[in-house]
Structure 1
Amino acid sequence: MKRAVTHINNDTWMEQYNDWRYTSCPASGRVGQTGVTMAALVNSVRLNAEDEHVRILRKAWGTKFERLLTAPRARPGLGKTYSQIMYGSPEVVSLFASDTHIRRLISDVDPNRISKHLFHLAKDPLPYRKLNLTLPGHKKNTLYEADDYLASQLEAWGYRVEREGVQVQAFRRDTSKPKHAQYSPPKPEDPWYTAYNLYAEKKGRSHPEKIILVLAHKDSQSWIDSPGANDNAIGTVGVLEMARVLAEYTSEGTIRFLFCNEEHRPWTSKTAAQKAKARGDDLVAVFNMDGIGVKTAEDTAAGKKTNVTAYTEPEGKRLAELMAEVNARYSIGLEQRTVKRSQPGDDDGSFVQAGYPAAVINIGSWPYGDPNYHAEGDTPETCDVENAAMTVQATLAAIVTIDGDFRSARPD
């Protein structure tokens, strides 16, 4: 006869685990004065293999969950029930704790903060972010002012910001081309500027040599007066929001944030990637946030929330698959697609070309569907901030999932 178990609400069962430790569990009775242990939880799994919540667990965690449940960790003299096998298993405790932590982190993503930063960088007080435009009465060009704003936010959350100077030129404009493609190579005699890559990072406590990189280009188009809200203030503030949410997170590996420049020439992500390779940095994953939440006018009108993860190499495909997994596991709600590039492109491509194949771009549509692409109409009002926040949540979940693998490998 099947014994009764404590049923847990679908959306909150992970968060309730700590509460269970101080309540009784019909599946195994009260365990001393501490209530339910992981043993009781896993015993409930054994006794209720067809239960709705157990099916959710198995679907969410797949083979990893099954592998942990069958790990032979029995104490001497105990039987072979799951509760006895798994009692005290650090792997299962880590798995459940990691999942709970991810849910709490992604719930902290704040669309209002994203919107606030977006309007600051793409409307007021900064209508653009480029090296060849300084506002009347200002001492710094608009890109330097954007750099200062980003750095001040990061420093307020406890990060140390490093600036890496790269010599670049502004693109010229060729009005004979279609509007979205009017950028034209600069001439050798055109002015040179110093553009800065901004870095901030959380150093890993047990595997600092393993680096997860999340980046976005922060500049707007140098050849046209476009606010560059969707391209790419929205990706910039998405990375900024990830840095805020992770500010108090204790990572096992290092999580690095990079704000680079792609609308001037050369792309400063190329310098970042080449220098990382020269240092011997072990970049285990690279997530490029560019045009997140951006889609066609038709999809926007239909209320769709979309994300496309594009990869170049097989190592990148695994990251794209992880994006789909976390979107489903945490019920984020994105219409998530995966695309294989024919060749490296965008800022993630800079890292692929430098020898880091585990690199992807998160972008709202593929082909890119913004009707205001590279035009004056690319304003903050056209951004789908809710969609962007969902993409930030999924990327955060992927990053912390990867970091969780470092945790399970942490030396005792």
Structure 2
Amino acid sequence: MAYVSSTRPLLAAALALAFGAASAAVPAAPDVARHQAQIDKIVIEISPQRIEAYVRKLVSFKTRHTMSETESDTVGIGAARRWIKSEMERCGAGSRLQVAFDSHVAPVSARISRPTEIVNVVATLPGAQAASKDRIYVVSGHYDSRNTDVMDAKGDAPGANDDASGTAAVMEMACVMSRYDFDATLVFMAVAAEEQGLIGATHWAEQAVQKKLNIAGMFTNDIIGSSRADDGRIDDKQVRLFAESIPATKEMSEPVRTLIATGGENDSLPRQLARHVKEVGERYVPDFKVSVVYRRDRYLRGGDHMPFLARGFAALRFSEPNEDFAHQHQNVRTEGAMQYGDLPEFNDYNYIAKVARVNAAALASLSLAPAAPQQVEMRTDKLENNSSLMWKPNTEPDLAGYRIVWRETTAPQWEGSMYVGNVTEATVKLSKDNYFFGVQAVDKDGNTSVATYPTPKR
């Protein structure tokens, strides 16, 4: 059987012994490490100049506070959302990109002083493969802004980094990727009222549940604009990717209970998605690290991925490596030599483009690949040092087969893999006591799905 081992020589030797005799029985594995030409083109086309233009246009609306002006064409959140929609319609003209408002009225709450219309701008690129088009990947940034007083709907709140940076990245991805075909569906969202309590994202995520949408993955990009720390250090070589393990809920669901029972706290749906994003992002964006942080978000803080997590979807947050709080949630002012405020001159547009490229590469890879295998189980009917896995077959017409991936229990990333062909059961001569396993679906072009963690077969 074709396999890629970890660098550990003993593991490689064990695999060679276990599978060498059977190699003729399995077709050659697709090249899962090669660059896909379509993804390379998308990554190259992401433009820091266009991203900067989007950010500066968003800043020009003075404030995008959720309860700010909606009638003006030049000031306030109403003008901002109409411009975002028209710009995505313009750049998606002639493509299959469908742009619409998603609107509801939020009642009075802790950060909403009067009933307020909350409007998300949603651009949908339908999948082109019948077997995959109902599988959806969502990417968002929030276009609302705030200054020091979260209830101040009139004062200037430029929000260049928080979160015009994420909104501009999402707009750029939508415009570039609308020119390409993908098997699964992509949704690009500029969401509102993040600063007032994640209201826009919560509404859309709840609607996804009510409509029984198959949200296979969600990214939010929030505060991805600056490569400069508050002490002046420049770090433009990495982005933080926050990935939740066990959700902090009062009651434990059966899937979570199974994760804990098998030691799989690091194999939650978000962590599996993060592994995939890191592998693909670092492949297509050279000299740039995706630093997976084993937390839902920054310490006791949150973002628009959290409503998706709360509803059981795999969701992640991208954020710059070092936040500068003088340029976040601050009234624009000068104190001595210090300039406060979230102004566009403090952004690094080449850095934002790198983060957008990681997003785009991951989204493209996920939406070109087959779905993650379902009903993956580990056999437990006898005591043995082998590990036998079984799964339900995929239905995609371009499916090539499956591969089993593994890592030692202390390792964060997959360390080895074995292509097993188009089968629904396979055995690895490695002990389930000592390794974690996953199963990925692979198409004929070498696109791989997120790995699925096995549950015990009783």
In the superposition, the TM-score normalised over structure 1's length comes to 0.68
- Deviation of residue 186 (structure 1)? 3.9
- Deviation of residue 381 (structure 1)? 0.7
- Which of residues 347, 350, 355 is equivalent to 1:386? 350
Residue 223 (structure 1) aligns with? 151
Residue 165 (structure 1) aligns with? 103
Q: Between Structure 1 and Structure 2, which shows a larger proportion of helix residues?
A: 1
Q: Answer whether contact 1:111 1:386 (CA < 8 A) is retained.
A: yes
Counterpart residue type for residue 174 of structure 2: A
The answer to whether 1:280 aligns with 2:215 is no
Residue 319 (structure 1) aligns with? 273
- Which of residues 139, 142, 145 is equivalent to 2:76? 142
The answer to whether 1:329 aligns with 2:268 is no
- Which of residues 260, 265, 268 is equivalent to 2:200? 268
Q: 1:409 to 1:370 in 2, by over 3 A?
A: farther
Cα distance in 2 for partners of 1:141, 1:191 equals: 20
Residue 341 (structure 1) aligns with? 295
Q: Secondary structure at the match of 2:133?
A: strand
- Which of residues 64, 85, 88 is equivalent to 1:154? 88
1:211-256 deviations in Å (ceiling 9; x for gaps): 0111111101153432111100000000000001101110100011
Q: Secondary structure at the match of 1:346?
A: coil
Counterpart residue type for residue 381 of structure 1: E
Query: Which protein is bigger by CA-based radius of gyration?
Result: 1
Cα distance in 1 for partners of 2:42, 2:231 equals: 28
Cα distance in 1 for partners of 2:136, 2:231 equals: 35
Cα distance in 1 for partners of 2:224, 2:360 equals: 14
The answer to whether 1:116 aligns with 2:47 is no
Cα distance in 1 for partners of 2:231, 2:46 equals: 24
Residue 118 (structure 2) aligns with? 195
Cα distance in 1 for partners of 2:296, 2:185 equals: 30
Cα distance in 1 for partners of 2:231, 2:186 equals: 33
Q: Answer whether contact 1:130 1:143 (CA < 8 A) is retained.
A: yes
Cα distance in 1 for partners of 2:186, 2:285 equals: 24
Q: 1:325 to 1:265 in 2, by over 3 A?
A: closer
Cα distance in 1 for partners of 2:111, 2:127 equals: 41
Cα distance in 1 for partners of 2:361, 2:54 equals: 22
- Deviation of residue 299 (structure 1)? 7.0
The answer to whether 1:127 aligns with 2:62 is yes
Cα distance in 2 for partners of 1:154, 1:72 equals: 51
Residue 15 (structure 1) aligns with? none
Q: 1:244 to 1:300 in 2, by over 3 A?
A: farther
Q: 1:259 to 1:393 in 2, by over 3 A?
A: same
Residue 389 (structure 2) aligns with? none
Q: Secondary structure at the match of 2:104?
A: strand
Number of residue pairs aligned between Structure 1 and Structure 2: 312
Counterpart residue type for residue 215 of structure 1: S
Cα distance in 2 for partners of 1:300, 1:249 equals: 40
1:13-46 deviations in Å (ceiling 9; x for gaps): xxxxxxxxxxxxxxxxxxxxxxxxxxxxxxxxxx
Counterpart residue type for residue 213 of structure 2: D
Q: Answer whether contact 1:114 1:241 (CA < 8 A) is retained.
A: yes
Cα distance in 2 for partners of 1:193, 1:276 equals: 22
Cα distance in 2 for partners of 1:317, 1:266 equals: 22
- Deviation of residue 296 (structure 1)? 4.8
Counterpart residue type for residue 263 of structure 1: E
Residue 432 (structure 2) aligns with? none
In the superposition, the TM-score normalised over structure 2's length comes to 0.61
Counterpart residue type for residue 202 of structure 1: L
Residue 238 (structure 1) aligns with? 169
Q: Answer whether contact 2:111 2:196 (CA < 8 A) is retained.
A: no
Residue 374 (structure 1) aligns with? 329
Cα distance in 2 for partners of 1:382, 1:396 equals: 24
- Deviation of residue 331 (structure 1)? 4.1
Q: 1:100 to 1:371 in 2, by over 3 A?
A: same
- Deviation of residue 208 (structure 1)? 0.9
Counterpart residue type for residue 304 of structure 2: D
Q: Between Structure 1 and Structure 2, which shows a larger proportion of strand residues?
A: 2
Q: 1:362 to 1:131 in 2, by over 3 A?
A: closer
Q: 1:237 to 1:316 in 2, by over 3 A?
A: same
Q: Answer whether contact 1:128 1:220 (CA < 8 A) is retained.
A: yes
Residue 401 (structure 1) aligns with? 365
The answer to whether 1:208 aligns with 2:125 is no
Q: Secondary structure at the match of 1:200?
A: strand
Q: Answer whether contact 2:228 2:234 (CA < 8 A) is retained.
A: no
Cα distance in 2 for partners of 1:322, 1:370 equals: 31
- Deviation of residue 129 (structure 1)? 1.1
